């Protein structure tokens, strides 16, 4: 996380380096602290870039950035971050991590010039310049783009210089980070222990709020089916709660026109019957006397919906009869899915063997399918044909799903290992940085101490400290 934040701020440095955020004109910098005698000021690039980053984030949420308390809080964060970076880079220099070969510098320069060329090519394309344009037209377009960059305070030379410096700083940071964390490892036993702790926590969550936990579980289990996306799961749920069953089904797809007609009628009937729609109708202004009335759509009735549903069932009845006859003769339901079913999720033996997990509190299945699946009383029961949004379902109660930990698959184990490794590396680096900082002479000026006090007041207020002892709460980043 720290490495990613540093990379972000180094990119911001290229955008913001033309002017110090808090300096006005040629005003003398405000000194907040010193690290081994080196001043940390309000013009320090790490300070200005971090504060600008949070200013942008806060503004997006409508927070008043003219409030002195908020700004002092952000300045305090920026000051502490700048001090930490100074400590880290000082230690990195002691270890020689700030030295670069000519080839490394040339590689940084090439990255920068390549980026400029990509930017110019992109701008040319956006301007509509054809690929087969003349060399003269391309040269003129290129000159115009470079002139625009110059007008914004950039040129190729300064951009390359700034980009090289940014790349050097990022590389220095990565070198010392990797040096500190090189020996950090995660064992199989640690992964298992970590997983078991997560399962235990989720068991407690499931007991406290079954509906909320089940919603998380149903979202997370989709990621478990596609392990490559596990790192992007917005929620995690490692415990399968009580009450799940697995079902399989034969999905019969009717003619598209018939299905869409029925779905449209159902939607219109629901709209007609909704209180919001009725209220909206009563609030509609009456038409003027001489206005031509708009043609009105015929109201939908339940009889119309039922007729559309019957048309679908009638169109598939011969196939339904055929399936039910085979079932009565002892045919295997899984074989009939393979023969008649159109659901892609049921096309493999693995999919049919696993079935779909469904719970009485599930919200991820359409109501008709959910109701029919949960109405089956015992394992092996098969439903009557039921019409849903995707066609006609014949559902089998395949098995009960035991409560307990989800499978600790290789993919899940790999994700947990990466998570644990990152956490352990971050902790190791933080501990090392604190040791370095303790060994260095870090001294705050009166201005710096004032910012620390402002930050402490906000943090105390956020934790519920009485108003007379702390300032009003300010949202923390």
Q: 267-310, pLDDT tens digit by residue? A: 999 999 886 644 555 455 555 555 555 555 789 999 999 999 99
Report the predicted TM-score, pTM, of the whole model to 2 decimal places. 0.71
In a domain, 465, yes or no: yes
**Token duo for residue 305:** 């919906």
Q: Helix (H, G, I), strand (E, B), or coil: what is residue 477?
A: coil
- Report pLDDT for 467: 40
Residue 399: name the closest of 372, 419, 380 by CA.
380
In a domain, 415, yes or no: no
Q: 128-187, pLDDT tens digit by residue? A: 888 788 888 888 888 888 888 888 877 888 889 989 999 999 999 999 999 999 999 999
State the Cα angle at 123 between 118 and 129, rounded to 5°: 115
- Report pLDDT for 441: 96
Q: Helix (H, G, I), strand (E, B), or coil: what is residue 74?
A: helix
Whether pLDDT at 473 is above 60? no
Q: 351-398, pLDDT tens digit by residue? A: 999 999 999 999 889 999 999 999 999 999 999 999 999 999 999 999
Q: Residue holding tokens 């015929």?
A: 298
- Report pLDDT for 4: 46
Number of domains comprising the chain = 2
Q: Helix (H, G, I), strand (E, B), or coil: what is residue 245?
A: strand
- Report pLDDT for 287: 53
Average pLDDT over all residues of the chain: 87
Question: What number of other Cβ atoms are within 10 A of residue 431's Cβ?
Answer: 11
Greater pLDDT, 286 or 103: 103
38 in the same domain as 135: yes
110 in the same domain as 78: yes
- Report pLDDT for 63: 86
The domain that holds 373 is classified in CATH as 3.10.50.40
438 in the same domain as 390: no
- Report pLDDT for 154: 76
In a domain, 280, yes or no: no
Whether pLDDT at 19 is above 60? no
Domain extent, residue 151, equals: 2-182+422-469
Cα separation of 448 and 83, whole Å? 11
In a domain, 344, yes or no: yes
For strands 31-35 and 38-41, give the pairing.
antiparallel
Inter-residue contact 180 to 88 (CB < 8 Å): no
- Report pLDDT for 1: 45
Residue 228: name the closest of 422, 412, 354, 423 by CA.
412
Question: CB neighbours of 405 closer than 8 A, spacing ≥ 6?
Answer: 195, 196, 199, 238, 239, 240
342 in the same domain as 444: no
Cα separation of 48 and 475, whole Å? 19
């Amino acid at each position: 996380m720290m490495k990613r934040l540093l990379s972000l701020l180094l990119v911001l440095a290229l955008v913001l380096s033309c002017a110090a955020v808090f300096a006005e004109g040629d005003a003398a910098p405000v000194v907040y602290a010193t690290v081994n005698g080196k001043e940390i000021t309000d013009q320090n690039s790490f300070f200005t870039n971090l504060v600008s980053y949070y200013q942008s984030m806060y503004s997006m949420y409508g927070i008043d950035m003219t409030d002195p308390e908020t700004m002092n809080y952000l300045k305090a964060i920026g000051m502490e971050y700048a001090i930490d970076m100074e400590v880290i880079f000082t230690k990195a220099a002691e270890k020689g991590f700030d030295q670069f070969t000519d080839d490394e510098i040339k590689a940084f320069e090439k990255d920068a010039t390549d980026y400029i060329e990509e930017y110019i090519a992109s701008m040319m394309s956006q301007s509509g310049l054809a690929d087969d344009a003349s060399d003269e037209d391309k040269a003129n377009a290129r000159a115009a783009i470079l002139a625009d960059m110059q007008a914004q305070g950039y040129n190729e030379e300064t951009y390359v210089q700034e980009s090289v410096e940014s790349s050097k700083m990022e590389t220095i940071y990565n070198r010392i980070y990797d040096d500190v964390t090189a020996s950090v490892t995660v064992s199989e036993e640690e992964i298992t222990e970590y997983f078991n702790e997560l399962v235990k926590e989720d068991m407690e969550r499931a007991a406290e709020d079954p509906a909320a936990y089940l919603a998380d579980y149903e979202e997370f289990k989709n990621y478990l089916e596609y392990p490559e996306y596990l790192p992007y799961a917005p929620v995690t749920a490692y415990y399968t709660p009580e009450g799940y069953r697995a079902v399989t089904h034969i999905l019969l797809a009717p003619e598209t026109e018939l299905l869409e007609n029925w779905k449209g009628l159902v939607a219109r009937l629901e709209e007609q019957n909704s209180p919001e729609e009725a209220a909206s109708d009563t609030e509609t202004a009456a038409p003027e006397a001489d206005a031509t009335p708009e043609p009105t759509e015929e109201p939908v009735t339940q009889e119309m919906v039922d007729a559309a549903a019957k048309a679908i069932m009638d169109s598939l009845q011969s196939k339904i009869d055929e399936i039910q006859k085979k079932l009565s003769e002892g045919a295997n339901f899984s074989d009939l899915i393979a023969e008649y079913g159109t659901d892609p999720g049921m096309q493999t033996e693995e999919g049919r063997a696993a079935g779909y997990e469904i719970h009485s509190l599930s919200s991820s299945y359409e109501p008709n399918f959910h109701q029919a699946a949960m109405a089956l009383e015992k394992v092996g029961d098969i439903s009557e044909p039921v019409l849903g949004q995707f066609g006609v379902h014949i559902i089998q109660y395949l098995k009960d799903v035991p409560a307990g930990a989800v499978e600790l698959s290789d993919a899940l184990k790999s994700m947990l290992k990466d998570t644990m490794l990152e956490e352990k590396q971050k902790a190791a680096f933080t501990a090392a940085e604190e040791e370095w900082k303790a060994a260095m002479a870090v001294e705050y000026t009166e201005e710096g101490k004032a910012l620390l006090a402002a930050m402490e007041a906000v943090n105390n207020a956020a934790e519920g400290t009485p108003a007379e002892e702390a300032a009003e709460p300010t949202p923390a980043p």
